[in-house]
Amino acid sequence: MTPLALAWRGIVRQPARAALAVLGVATVSALLFDMLMLSQGLFISFGHLLEETGFDVRVTATKALPMLGPRVRGAEKASRELSSLPEVASVLPMRIEWASMATNDDEELDVIFIGVQSAPEQPWTILEGDGLMDRVGDAQPPVLLNAYLAEVLDADPGDTLSLRGRCDGAGNALPTTEFRVAGVADFPYDSSGTPRVAVTLQAFRHTCGLDAEDAVDVLLVTSAPGAGPDGAVAAIRAARPDLHPLTNRQIMNRVQQTEFSYFRQIAFVLASITLFFAFLLIATLLAVSVNQRFGEIAALRALGFTRWRIVANLFCESALLVGAGGLLALPAGGLLALWLDGILRQMPGIPTHLHFFVFEPRALLLYLGLLALTGLLAALYPIHLAIRLPIAATLRNEVVS
């Protein structure tokens, strides 16, 4: 009988205890799995979010991340120059401010106000109606609403609405501008309960009273096929050393080291604690199991079973407990992650497309590796007990007891 078969028989011999042990391992393993998904979840999800926009390079005026530093002055010229680079496929200047508008109840509502140059590629998905480009020749400038705002206003494509720019901290001094709703869009950075609108850059400047100002927060760039984002960044740096292009990967790394580092650290600490609990649990279960079977083990040794055969039996027992618990933990951890993700994503300002817990093969491999290592280490003490067992003394003690 192989060590695995013998270990399996040993486990199923006491099904209630085995079930409790597997449940215990599954519980701590599910937490470990979740912490590993959390440790990289925001990073990966943020990467997906950046990729979703369809642009792979972002150009700003300084080293600061987009929207967090000074604006790019002379945006039109910069946009033209970058567009002419063979490594660049398209450039989309974008500026973001605040605007206010009246709701159906005559209450003033602050909305995120985005201005982009009309171009075929836009960093959002049209859910209903048309895009800005399709309505740019209309008598009233077009506006896109996010789904939340469309619901609040009960607005449909073709409706008109008035926006008052609150740009660069300007109060109510600016006049309102009438817009016609072109469509409803899904904005990648939308957070639940946050109204958002997008208009053309020209209409944006007009609404903000900035007709003469040629500044944007960021230039969204799509690299040319074959050049890739790194090639585009190199070309932009060479052409405009005063600008700061960043690939999506570079932005992700910057954010990972700053904004997301808290989650990474928390996940690391919690994963370490969970691993420690898993270690204690498995070690205790196996140690108790070995203690209860001293007589059996001594008898097997007396019958000629080698120390290594006993070690193999215990390793197999550990592997079965950890394996069963670890596998059970995957669906359990997945469900728990969905639940926790739902709670965390309700925090204000969190983009609805951003997830805290993200499944990825690397997290699964790391989980399996850590669990296997924990099972291995946890089995060492019980194995030490078993192989150091004095056969004769144990047999004598078993009879006396």
Partner 1 sequence: MSGPIVEARGLTRIFPMPAGPVTALRDVSLRVDPGDYIAIEGPSGCGKSTLLHLLGCVDGPTSGRLWFDGKDVAALSDSQRSRIRLNGIGFVFQRFFLLPMLTAWENVELPQGEAGASRAERRHRTAELLEYVGLADRAHHRPSQLSGGEMQRVAIARALANRPRLLLADEPTGELDEETSAQIGELLSRANADGNALIVVTHDPSLAARARRRLSMRGGSITGTTT
C-beta contacts of 151-158 below 8 A and 24+ residues apart? 152/103, 152/109, 152/195, 153/103, 153/104, 154/104, 155/181, 156/128, 156/129, 156/181, 157/128, 157/129, 157/130, 157/181, 157/182, 157/183, 157/184, 158/129
Judged by CB under 8 A, which stretch of 195-203, 344-352, 369-377, 392-400 contacts partner 1? 392-400
Instruction: Determine the size of the site formed for partner 1 (CB under 8 A).
Output: 28
d(CA 24, CA 132): 56
Does position 291 interact with partner 1 (CB under 8 A)? The reply is no
Does position 388 interact with partner 1 (CB under 8 A)? The reply is no
Judged by CB under 8 A, which stretch of 122-130, 228-236, 258-266, 306-314 contacts partner 1? 306-314
Does position 307 interact with partner 1 (CB under 8 A)? The reply is yes
Q: Tell me the backbone φ, ψ of residue 289, rounded to 5 degrees.
A: -60, -45
Write out the two tokens for 170: 């300007």
Q: Tell me the backbone φ, ψ of residue 276, rounded to 5 degrees.
A: -65, -40
Shortest CB 317 distance to partner 1, Å: 11
Does position 224 interact with partner 1 (CB under 8 A)? The reply is no
Judged by CB under 8 A, which stretch of 7-15, 89-97, 114-122, 254-262 contacts partner 1? 7-15
Does position 292 interact with partner 1 (CB under 8 A)? The reply is no
Considering only 188, 301, 315, 355, the residue that binds partner 1 (CB under 8 A) is 301
Choose between 262 and 308: whose C-beta lies nearer to partner 1.
308
Choose between 151 and 296: whose C-beta lies nearer to partner 1.
296
Choose between 139 and 303: whose C-beta lies nearer to partner 1.
303
d(CA 109, CA 266): 36
Does position 351 interact with partner 1 (CB under 8 A)? The reply is no
C-beta contacts of 389-394 below 8 A and 24+ residues apart? 389/294, 389/297, 389/298, 389/301, 391/298, 391/301, 391/302, 394/294, 394/295, 394/297, 394/298
Q: Longest Cα pair distance anywhere in the chain, in angstroms?
A: 102
DSSP track, 211-247? TT--EESEEEEEEPTTTHHHHHHHHHHHH-TTSEEEE
Does position 10 interact with partner 1 (CB under 8 A)? The reply is yes
Shortest CB 395 distance to partner 1, Å: 7
Shortest CB 290 distance to partner 1, Å: 14
Helix extents (H) in 122-198: 147-153
Considering only 169, 226, 241, 304, the residue that binds partner 1 (CB under 8 A) is 304
Does position 316 interact with partner 1 (CB under 8 A)? The reply is no
Beta-bridge mates of residue 128: 184
Considering only 291, 306, 346, 397, the residue that binds partner 1 (CB under 8 A) is 306
Shortest CB 1 distance to partner 1, Å: 5
Choose between 98 and 305: whose C-beta lies nearer to partner 1.
305
Residues that bind partner 1 (CB under 8 A): 1, 6, 9-10, 12-13, 295-296, 298-309, 390-393, 395-396, 398-399
